[in-house]
Amino acid sequence: MILVDSSIWIDFFNGVESSKTKLLDNALGTQTILMGDIILAEVLQGCDNDYEMVKERLSHLECISLVGKEIAIRSSQNYRLLRSKGVIVRKTVDMLIGTWCIEYRVPLLHNDKDFDRIALHLPLELAK
């Protein structure tokens, strides 16, 4: 089971070939891929002409809620801990996604430096 960040989905739907989009392509149909609600929003917001196609392709994935009160609180604690170490995570949504993955022990497939920063100091497992 893995959670795939919008940074990978966007590359995937734009036809970008990389080791990470190939990993996603290979995982489709062979393992459980989770779609987070805020990740779904990010991906669909960025669609222009392909909106309906992307929405349809993603509709088959299990969509989970990534943010609730406990994750929001834990995310703020993680952010404060990182900040105390001089590490700044630029996007709140990345901190929320990373925290959810840490709490539920689900590997994250991404292409975003914020997650690399988080994983250096917190037990965020990155999909490889």
pLDDT digits (tens, 9 = 90+) for 57-81: 999 999 999 999 999 999 999 999 9
Coil vs helix vs strand at 109? strand
Residue with tokens 């604690």, as numbered in its chain: 77
CATH numeric code, 2-121: 3.40.50.1010
Separation between Cα atoms, residue 98 and residue 106, nearest integer Å? 10
pLDDT digits (tens, 9 = 90+) for 22-54: 999 999 989 999 999 999 999 999 888 899 999
